A and B are shown apart, each in its own frame.
Chain A
Amino acid sequence: MLLKIDVASTVPLYQQIHDQIILGLASGQLQPDEALPAVRQLADELAVNMLTVAKGYNLLKAEGYLISDRRQGTRVAANFQADAVFMQALQEQLHQLTAAAKIRGLDVKDVQELVAAQYQSFEGE
Chain B
Amino acid sequence: MLNWLFVGMTIFVAVTMAATTMLPAKPHKNVILETTLPHEQLNHPAVHALTKNFRKQLWWLALFFSLAGLPIIFIHFDSLALLYFMLLLFGLIGVFYATEVRFIHKMSRLKQQHNWLQKQNTEKVADTQLILTKNRRLLSMQWFIGSGGLLVIGLVSNLWLLGWGTSWPLLLALTLGWALFLLLYWVIAALPVRVLTAQPEYDRVLNDSYRQTWSRQMVLGSYVIGSLPLIISITTMAFSLIYIYFIIVTAFCIYLIYDLIRERNFEDQLLGNFSPQTTTDEDRYWRYAMYINRDDHRLFVPDRVGVNISLNLGRPAGKLIGGITVVLVLGLLFSVTGTLLALDFGGNSIRASATTQTITLKAPGTTTTQIKRQSVQQVRLLQQLPVGAVRVNGIGTNNFAIGNFRVDKRAAKLYVVQDTGTVLLLQTNHRDYYFAAKNPKETQRLYRALQ
Contact = CB atoms under 8 A, between A and B. Distances in A.
Contacts of A35: 132
B198 A2 contact: yes
B132 A37 contact: yes
A45 B126 contact: yes
B297 A2 contact: no
Contacts of A34: 128-129
A91 to B, nearest CB: 31
B128 A47 contact: no
B124 interface: yes
27 contacts: A1-B128, A2-B125, A2-B126, A2-B198, A2-B200, A3-B125, A3-B127, A3-B128, A4-B124, A4-B125, A6-B122, A6-B123, A6-B124, A8-B122, A30-B128, A34-B129, A36-B128, A37-B126, A37-B132, A42-B126, A44-B190, A45-B126, A45-B131, A45-B193, A46-B124, A47-B297, A47-B298
A5 B124 contact: yes
SS class of chain B's interface: helix, strand, loop or mixed?
mixed
A27 to B, nearest CB: 14
Given A3-B127, A42-B128, 15 more contacts: A2-B125, A2-B127, A2-B128, A2-B195, A2-B200, A3-B126, A4-B125, A6-B123, A30-B128, A36-B128, A37-B126, A41-B131, A45-B192, A45-B193, A47-B296
A4 B198 CA distance: 11
A7 interface: yes
Chain B interface size range: 10 to 19
Contacts of A9: 122
Interface residues on A, range: 20 to 34
A30 B129 CA distance: 9
A59 to B, nearest CB: 17
B191 to A, nearest CB: 10
Contacts of A6: 122-124
Contacts of A8: 122
Contacts of A3: 125-128
Interface string B87-129: 0000000000000000000000000000000000011111111
B32 to A, nearest CB: 26
A7 B122 contact: yes
B123 A5 contact: yes
Interface in B126-142: 126-129, 131-132
B407 to A, nearest CB: 55
Contacts of A30: 128
Nearest to A5: B124
A37 B195 contact: no
A1 B122 contact: no
Contacts of B127: 1-3
A26 to B, nearest CB: 15
A109 to B, nearest CB: 36
B314 to A, nearest CB: 13
Contacts of A47: 124, 192, 296-298
The 7 A-B pairs with the shortest beta carbon distances in the complex, nearest first, are A8-B122, A37-B131, A45-B126, A45-B192, A3-B126, A7-B122, A4-B125
Interface string A27-40: 00010001111000
Contacts of B126: 2-3, 37, 42, 45-46
B312 to A, nearest CB: 12
A34 B190 CA distance: 23
B119 to A, nearest CB: 11
Interface in B179-207: 190, 192-193, 195, 198, 200
B309 to A, nearest CB: 17
A46 B122 CA distance: 11
B64 to A, nearest CB: 44
Nearest to B192: A45
B192 A44 contact: yes
A7 B124 contact: yes
Contacts of B125: 2-4
A20 B103 CA distance: 43
Contacts of A42: 126, 128, 131
A48 B123 CA distance: 12
A16 to B, nearest CB: 10
A44 to B, nearest CB: 7
**Residue of B122, B124, B190 with highest tally of chain A CB at under 10 A:** B124
Nearest to A17: B126
A47 B315 CA distance: 15
A5 B193 CA distance: 15
